[in-house]
Structure 1
Amino acid sequence: MRQDRHEKRKKRRKVRWSAVFFILLLLIGGVGIYSYLQFNEGLADSQKQTGEVQEEYTFNGSKDENGSINILLLGSDSREGETSRADTIMIASYNPDRGTYKLASIMRDTYIGIPGHGSNKINTAFALGGPELLRQTIKENFDVDLEHYAIVDFQGFVQLIDTAFPNGVEVDVEKRMSTNIDVTIEPGLQRLDGEHLLGYVRFRHDAVGDFGRVERQQKVIKEVGSQLASIQTVPKLPKLIGVVAPYINTNMGAGDMVYIGRGFISRESRNIDSLRIPVDQSYENQRISGAGAVLAIDLEKNKQALKDFLAQ
């Protein structure tokens, strides 16, 4: 009799845990289906606006030995036909074990050696050999290898902002901006839509030039990241990835992008540490025949600064 009762309890436990397991499977499956449908919805919306076929690139980067996911992040503007050169060069690094996000901007006029092509501005490496040659250039000069690349068309940035922030992104604009950015932005606290925010990060026609532009780019990425990391954004994430997918040429899968995005959103602290190369007091402005105005850098000082920054 006692054995029968014991057997019945075991059966009830089996039934109960089977039911729990089944419910979990339904939840996981439902989330997966929802994410898939949301991604495809965003993808379909964007594909209506762009019919361009993306160029396929070879990229032979390797995984980071410390477990970080290192991405060569490049910005280009197809509207101006300037896709042959990288307008923006960044290294984005995410370490899931430490929960750290880092962003290092490399000034496009940085004058360094390009494997097989002598010395020139670093963005020339992309024009000569795409993201792979730029990866080799960064590895040879700074001893940092990159596993992934992502070339982001600026129009994709506009789509992301307008989809994620229908009311715009709040930015404290430091001065009036209009030269060569196709919009006019007034100083003060403003809510900027995608086009105006793009103009803000592209503006460089003032006394500080590209240095001010890089500073604004990092400022906006931090602000957008902070505002994206809200409970309202979590369900939107797959759709947002779908929206920008047609404007991103990358060797990363959509699942990888969602993984990194969700990792950021789920953190208690959502700080993004930033660095600019060249660092202060490590460069001088020069004009070199065949390259024009360049930043001649102290390579060893900047190499160590970048390696230390990514290792922290």
Structure 2
Amino acid sequence: MTRSKKNRKKVKWRRVFGALLLIGIFIVGLGQIFQYIEGTINTLNHPLEKAKGKQTFKGEKNKQGAINVLLLGSDSRGEKQSRTDTIMVAHYDPKSHKIKLISLMRDMMVSVPGHGQQKLNAAYSFGGPELLRETIKENFGLDLHYYAIVDFKGFEKVVDLLVPNGIEVDVPYEMSYGIDTPLEKGKQKLHGKELLGYVRFRHDRLSDFGRVQRQQEVISKLTEEAVSLNSVVKLPKLVDLINKYIDTNIDTSTLLTIGKDILTKKSSNIETFRLPEDGSFQNKRDENLGDVLEVDFDQNIEALNNFLEDKSVAQNEEQ
């Protein structure tokens, strides 16, 4: 056989192989899409029992513009109303498909309607997510449309569903005090229960500031790891977990729309911000409240609006 004939056979085989590969990818893709559609239909046929929410929340639903969701992690140990361990706002723009995450320091001294000057997380203790919504609106001018309260078991379950192989983080030092699972220093992959300890730990030189950094880090990495074709078919299961472990007033269709945007990579990059921003607060000791953050509200309102309107670069915390 001449060399030219051999080359032609090689070229022909490569073309056939390439065609088969494309067909295989296409078939697999159709299978994944079918599973997603089937799962979505099943979910919509069995809507969230918690879609109405267990808590009073008077935020007006925004069906056309950007959506702001108050995200809360409670440190409840069975109390009727506890303070919040985590306070965040997730901002989603359905037009640009952008997701932005705002962390609010719980020790900020703010004006709580009907209760005077208090720490921010005290608003939840006094009046649940509704009073916290009113407090954030009064102090920062931010409208909140929905709320979601996540319990710790729910966090673990969601992590283990989306990223069963864990998320890699670089633990800066040994973490043990105040968390259930001690963590050694160094790079390692953490699963649900371990990640929960990682984001809750606060007994270091940065205190809550360090914890906020880790919370934003984990949520961003969780989103990045979850964005894959295989993860799309997990969306209905994720909604089922939300039904079991998360108290929210977000309706099923809104959840599926945001989730699909994230899992189809339209909203895979999350920009983060922290209130108060650097240089806009002072550490103070209040005789009634203890250690608080005294905030320059004008500066922070301007910074927040710039962040939401893409007028400034998302801040990266460097402590």
TM range (shorter): 0.7 to 0.9
Amino acid at match of 1:200: Y
Is contact 1:64-1:146 (8 Å) kept? no
Cα distance in 2 for residues equivalent to 1:224 and 1:137: 29
The alpha carbon displacement at 1:265 in A equals 2.0
Is contact 1:102-1:273 (8 Å) kept? yes
Is contact 2:67-2:93 (8 Å) kept? yes
The alpha carbon displacement at 1:83 in A equals 5.3
Spell out the pairing of 1:185-264 with structure 2 (5 A cutoff): 185-264=183-262
Question: SS of 1:290's equivalent?
Answer: coil
Long gaps (5+) in structure 2 = 1-31, 311-319
Cα distance in 2 for residues equivalent to 1:261 and 1:218: 18
1:77 aligns with 2:75: yes
Question: SS of 1:113's equivalent?
Answer: strand
Question: SS of 1:284's equivalent?
Answer: strand
Out of 118-127 and 282-291, give the one that drifted further: 282-291
Cα distance in 2 for residues equivalent to 1:30 and 1:197: 29
Distance 1:84 1:39, change over 3 A: farther
Amino acid at match of 1:276: R
Q: What percent of counterpart residues are identical?
A: 47
Distance 1:171 1:29, change over 3 A: closer
1:19 corresponds in structure 2 to: none
Amino acid at match of 1:270: S
Amino acid at match of 1:59: F
Out of 64-73 and 225-234, give the one that drifted further: 64-73
2:148 corresponds in structure 1 to: 150
The alpha carbon displacement at 1:78 in A equals 3.7
Question: SS of 1:87's equivalent?
Answer: strand
Question: SS of 1:232's equivalent?
Answer: helix
Spell out the pairing of 1:159-198 with structure 2 (5 A cutoff): 159-198=157-196
Question: SS of 2:229's equivalent?
Answer: coil
Spell out the pairing of 1:288-299 with structure 2 (5 A cutoff): 288-299=286-297
Count of residue pairs brought into register by the alignment: 276
Could you list the per-position Cα deviations for residues 254-289 of structure 1 after superposition, in whole angstroms to 9, with x for gaps in the alignment?
332121011122235621010011100111111112
Question: SS of 1:60's equivalent?
Answer: coil
Question: SS of 1:233's equivalent?
Answer: helix
Amino acid at match of 2:227: A
2:305 corresponds in structure 1 to: 307
Could you list the per-position Cα deviations for residues 60-81 of structure 1 after superposition, in whole angstroms to 9, with x for gaps in the alignment?
1124598101101111134475
Could you list the per-position Cα deviations for residues 90-126 of structure 1 after superposition, in whole angstroms to 9, with x for gaps in the alignment?
1100101112110000000010101111010011111
Q: TM-score, normalised by structure 2?
A: 0.80
Distance 1:237 1:197, change over 3 A: same
1:35 corresponds in structure 2 to: 40
Distance 1:62 1:244, change over 3 A: closer
Could you list the per-position Cα deviations for residues 213-266 of structure 1 after superposition, in whole angstroms to 9, with x for gaps in the alignment?
000000000000000111110001110221232211111123321210111222
Long gaps (5+) in structure 1 = 1-26, 48-53
The alpha carbon displacement at 1:307 in A equals 1.7
Distance 1:285 1:215, change over 3 A: same
Cα distance in 1 for residues equivalent to 2:158 and 2:300: 33
Q: TM-score, normalised by structure 1?
A: 0.81
Distance 1:240 1:31, change over 3 A: closer
1:277 aligns with 2:282: no
CA-based RMSD of the aligned residues comes to 2.7
